Amino acid sequence: MTFQDIFKSSFLENITSISILDMVLAMFLAFGIGMFIFLIYKKTFSGVMYSSSFGVTLVALTMISTLVILAVTSNVVLSLGMVGALSIVRFRTAIKEPLDIAFLFWSIAVGIVLAAGMIPLAVFGSVIIGIILLVFANRKSHVNPYIVVIRCDGHDSEIKVTEFLKKQVQRMAIKSKTAQRGAIELNAEIQMKDENTDFINILSEMNGVTSAVLVSYNGDYMG
């Protein structure tokens, strides 16, 4: 080893391994497609509470994936070290919506494909995926179900309530029943014929009925 070898810097040699034009083009494309993924996420979101931070995460994840893969493709030794470093990362945040997992993998996949230089695949693939998500995520193939909670004071009132409810709705299924001395609580899932909810008012005024509550819930439903 000579004196010059001591001051030879492999770090400086790696500066020119990726051109400035490639870096700028890849990062701008990653940002553009990340914003497209973010907009598709906003259009297809159907959960209870929208999280704007998750949408920003999709954009950042696309750009970060592109940055990492650009570094990996320029140096084989670095790629081995990167695999070892990323293998110790653990994520503790729970994914509440199943569709969110698809958006996360979509962002990561786009970043990898862009950094690999397959720009047409990243662009057209993202457009096709976005169209499919817009069509199927916003498609309503069933009527939104409702839950009716009824409290009555005896068996006769229960029979009267269930018979009346079956005539007023399109479909009814008893989900739970709680019986106490002098009180019965019924939880029934129903599909209404239309948006008219006057039958709940009639139920609450029937003899033997203490209260009647109608609740709409959002979730996957197989009818």
- Tens-digit pLDDT profile for residues 13-47: 555 566 778 788 889 999 999 999 999 998 888 76
CA gap 13, 6 in Å, rounded? 14
Of 85-94, 159-168, 186-195, 197-206, minimum mean pLDDT range: 85-94
The contacts of residue 112 (CB under 8 Å, 6+ apart) are: 65, 66, 69
Q: Phi first, then psi: give them for residue 76, nearest 5 degrees.
A: -70, -40
Residues 27 and 128 in one domain: yes
Answer with the residue of higher pLDDT: 175 or 85: 175
CA gap 30, 6 in Å, rounded? 39
Of 34-43, 75-84, 159-168, 177-186, minimum mean pLDDT range: 75-84
CA gap 43, 65 in Å, rounded? 24
As for how many domains the chain has, the answer is 2
Residue-range definition of the domain harbouring residue 133: 3-137
Q: Residue 10 domain-assigned?
A: yes
Q: Residue 221 domain-assigned?
A: no
Residues 122 and 151 in one domain: no
Q: Residue 222 domain-assigned?
A: no
CA gap 217, 194 in Å, rounded? 16
Q: Is 166 left (phi over 0), alpha (psi -120 to 50) or beta?
A: alpha
Last residue of a domain, one of 137, 161, 176: 137
Residues 87 and 150 in one domain: no
Q: Residue 223 domain-assigned?
A: no
The answer to whether residue 11 scores a pLDDT higher than 90 is: no
Alpha-carbon dihedral sign for residues 139, 193, 199, 190: negative
Mean pLDDT of all residues in 46-61? 80
Predicted structure pTM score: 0.60
Of 17-26, 71-80, 96-105, 110-119, where does the model show the most confidence? 110-119
Does an H or E element contain 157, and which? helix 155-168
Instruction: Quote the tokens at residue 64.
Output: 């970060």
Residues 72 and 179 in one domain: no
Residues 11 and 98 in one domain: yes
CA gap 104, 62 in Å, rounded? 9
CATH of the domain at 206: 3.30.70.260
The answer to whether residue 119 scores a pLDDT higher than 80 is: yes
Q: Residue 11 domain-assigned?
A: yes
- At 38 the pLDDT is 92
Neighbours of 144 (CB within 10 A): 12
pLDDT digits (tens, 9 = 90+) for 103-116: 989 998 998 888 88
